[in-house]
Amino acid sequence: MKKSKVNENVFIRAYLSVVQIIAMLLDPTFLFGELGRGSGKTTHILAPRIDRVQNDMPGAMLVLAAATYKSILDNIVPGILEYFLENYERGVYFEFGKRPPAHFGVPTSKNPNWSRSEIEKINDFKHTITFVNGTVIKFVSCDRPESMLGLNAAHLFIDEMIRIPEEKFLERIIPALRADRSKFGHSHYYMGITGFSSTPNFETDEDWWTKNEKDHNQPLMDKILEIAYEADLRMGKLLTAQAEADTEEIKKLQRYVDRWTERLNKRSDDPDQCGLRVDQTAYLRASSFSNIKILGIDYIKNQIKTIKDPDKLNTSILAVRKYKVKDMFFGKFGKQHLFDDGYEYKYIDRVALGEDRESSSRDLKYCNPNMPLIAGYDPGPFQSIVFGQEEKQKKTFRIIKDIWVYHPDQHAELAEKIDTFFKHHKNKVIYLYYDRAGNQRDPAYRKDYPLLGTLRDTDANLLQIALVARGWTVHPMSRNQATIFYSQHYRLLNKLFGDQEGKHWKILIDRNECEALVSSINHSPLKKGTRDIELDKSSEKLDFEDQAMYSTQLSSALMYLLWGRFSEILPASDRVKITPQGAGTYSG
């Protein structure tokens, strides 16, 4: 056998999982993925797809979209930049967060289609990714409709589609997909969409995009996969032949690659003449097992062992769709009680890509720094607190933030988290609601999770002391509180969340800053097998790290807040019932 003389530097060794390879080979106009944790969807599927698209449409405007602009900056862009920084040289092949070098987009004899037209339109590059061929990536989001203004995108990229309502996607994002066909219509990526997400969980997750699965033509995808695989093998051999200057082999392989690439990608006004990938949809579903070689079998075993909540295991690891609890304690709660336009971008816009930025309450549109905070607090070895503010003229109460700590972190650490996030809040006053267990000087849980310091007091007082030390004024609103039945909480929640006529205050929750709270609400079932209405709190036996999202901890904090603030809407006979056993009391 002839030994290849090609230098090993012609190729790089890189591992791709099965789903990453399939995404690369299928590569149709529309590519959607519903992928489990650890599948590498952003860094190893989305980012390489961006690279292929921008290479095929030099000088184009591409759009990266998400539910919120903040999510793009915090959660999506870092993974994309990881791919490009690992594979290319910044300032030579791509640039981000600042004006690109002067040679970006300048046509050459080898690359006459390069263009600086989109680069020249931009005044502020802090939130922009540019490429040497003149292609530009701009960011758009549902919560910033103005981010779409003036954009004529040739392709749309989306991550975490479970956060994007369908109507906002159609009204605020799709209109940006309108690039010049005469410039970019040659590409099979033209007017395409690439969208990825984790597996949708509950009714409060958006799952409209899963309808794209019906457009996945498996026999056609199998054919594309086979052809693309063979063409890719020949491309590797072609690079070897070029490195060895084997003229005959180069001609033969180049003909093969050109012929089959055209049959895959060619666009034509005659649909019968179009390539197989053109205007086709691939819908990929994959669990964490798809990336088992990188994650390792021990990772999967540990996840299965440690994730005691079956919903979390199904959606995050196994990519199995799971819908919300049928018999919810918050039975009237739904999407209509969420808002997703909660960010103010005055300070966020000042920070360029790649620079450090700290989130705080001044980034929240509906957090009025001149008004006090109203909080619901659930003490215990897992301490959780939710914050809200009133809009009296609109008769609206907004839940704007959830915060939690768990053992060994205690009251001081919770106070530190609160103070850090609300450090720019001017009116440092908190009205604190909690259940009566917060008034116990020696609650039962401390036998297993003792306090670390020498100070002994009630949980409410300890949190108050820790916050006062940081300059806050705290008003404990639940001292001497009577026991509240679960049935009383249940009836109040039904009144608040089931109000169709606007008789009561409207309760709205920030779905982005209170993601754990929303999940907790949806993991709050009615207890089965009992005559009385009770909340099933068995999820509070989960490992601490899973309790924020998958237990009733945060939903209980909300329950105490809503009871303290709005119980007066119940009949007087339903407000006070003294019994030995209290709803929400921590039982160890």
pLDDT higher than 50, residue 580: no
Q: Which residue has the tokens 């205690």?
A: 410
* 347 three-class SS: coil
CA–CA distance, 403 with 405 (Å, rounded to integer) = 7
Q: Tell me, what's the pLDDT at 1?
A: 40
Give the torsion sign (CA, 439, 441, 444, 446). Answer: positive
Q: Tell me, what's the pLDDT at 38?
A: 63
Q: Tell me, what's the pLDDT at 13?
A: 65
pLDDT band at 2 (very low <50, low <70, confident <90, very high): very low
pLDDT band at 123 (very low <50, low <70, confident <90, very high): very high
499, 327 Cβ separation under 8 angstroms: no
Q: Tell me, what's the pLDDT at 379?
A: 96
CATH of domain 13-217+280-323: 3.40.50.300
pLDDT higher than 70, residue 221: yes
CA 435 to chain CA centroid, nearest Å: 32
pLDDT band at 319 (very low <50, low <70, confident <90, very high): low
Q: Tell me, what's the pLDDT at 298?
A: 61
Q: Tell me, what's the pLDDT at 16?
A: 75
CA–CA distance, 337 with 137 (Å, rounded to integer) = 33
Q: Tell me, what's the pLDDT at 10?
A: 54
Q: Residue 145, exposed/middle/buried by CB under 10 A (0-12, 13-18, 19+)?
A: middle
pLDDT band at 588 (very low <50, low <70, confident <90, very high): very low
pLDDT higher than 80, residue 26: yes
Report the predicted TM-score, pTM, of the whole model to 2 decimal places: 0.86
Q: Tell me, what's the pLDDT at 501?
A: 76
Percent of the chain scoring above 90 in pLDDT:
68
pLDDT band at 317 (very low <50, low <70, confident <90, very high): low
Asked if CATH classification 3.60.40.10 holds for the domain at 335-574, the reply, yes or no, is: no
pLDDT higher than 80, residue 308: no
Q: Tell me, what's the pLDDT at 489?
A: 95
* 427 three-class SS: coil
Q: For all residues of the chain together, what is the average pLDDT?
A: 88
Transcribe 67-96 into DSSP letters. S-HHHIIIIIHHHHHHHHHHHS-BTTTEEE
Transcribe 554-575 into DSSP letters. HHHHHHHHHHHHHGGGS-GGGT
For range 495-511, the mean pLDDT? 89
Question: What does the pLDDT look like over 249-303, one tens digit per residue?
Answer: 999 999 999 999 999 999 988 888 999 999 999 999 886 555 555 545 665 555 5
Mark 17-56 as b/e (b = at least 16 C-beta within 10 Å): bebbbbbbbbbbbbbbbbbbbbbbbbbbbbbbbbbebbeb
Report the DSSP beta bridge partners of residue 144: 141
Q: Tell me, what's the pLDDT at 422?
A: 98
Question: What does the pLDDT look like over 74-109, one tens digit per residue?
Answer: 999 999 999 999 999 999 999 999 999 999 999 999
Q: Tell me, what's the pLDDT at 6?
A: 47
* 241 three-class SS: helix
pLDDT band at 577 (very low <50, low <70, confident <90, very high): very low
Q: Residue 239, exposed/middle/buried by CB under 10 A (0-12, 13-18, 19+)?
A: middle
477, 432 Cβ separation under 8 angstroms: yes
Question: What does the pLDDT look like over 447-471, one tens digit per residue?
Answer: 898 888 767 899 999 999 999 999 9
Question: What does the pLDDT look like over 148-162, one tens digit per residue?
Answer: 888 999 999 999 898
Q: Give the range among 15-19, 164-168, 377-381 with minimum mean pLDDT.
A: 15-19
For range 123-146, the mean pLDDT? 96
For range 426-451, the mean pLDDT? 92
CA–CA distance, 91 with 107 (Å, rounded to integer) = 17
Q: Tell me, what's the pLDDT at 586?
A: 37
Q: Where are the beta strands (DSSP E) in 350-487?
A: 373-378, 382-391, 396-406, 429-434, 473-476
Q: Where are the beta strands (DSSP E) in 326-395?
A: 338-339, 373-378, 382-391
pLDDT higher than 70, residue 431: yes
Question: What does the pLDDT look like over 324-366, one tens digit per residue?
Answer: 556 889 989 998 999 999 999 999 999 999 999 899 999 999 9
pLDDT higher than 70, residue 188: yes
Q: Where are the beta strands (DSSP E) in 175-268?
A: 192-197
pLDDT higher than 60, residue 7: no
Domain boundaries, the chain: 13-217+280-323, 218-278, 335-574
CA–CA distance, 411 with 443 (Å, rounded to integer) = 14
As a dihedral over the C-alpha atoms of residue 490, residue 493, residue 498, residue 499, rounded to 10 degrees, the angle is: 130
Triad 453, 458, 461: Cα angle to 5°: 90
The distance between the two most distant Cα atoms of the chain, rounded to a whole number of Å, is: 94
Q: Tell me, what's the pLDDT at 503?
A: 82
Give the torsion sign (CA, 515, 517, 520, 524). Answer: negative
* 25 three-class SS: helix
Q: Tell me, what's the pLDDT at 530?
A: 73
Q: Which one has a higher pLDDT value, 527 or 430?
A: 430
Going by their DSSP bridges, the two strands 382-391 and 396-406 should be labelled as antiparallel
pLDDT higher than 80, residue 173: yes
Q: Which one has a higher pLDDT value, 429 or 580?
A: 429
Residue among 531, 546, 541, 523 at smallest CA distance from 586: 541
Q: Could you tell me if residue 480 is left (phi over 0), alpha (psi between -120 and 50 degrees) or otherwise beta?
A: left
Cα-based distances in Å from 214 to 20, 189, 208, 474, 494:
21, 20, 12, 55, 37
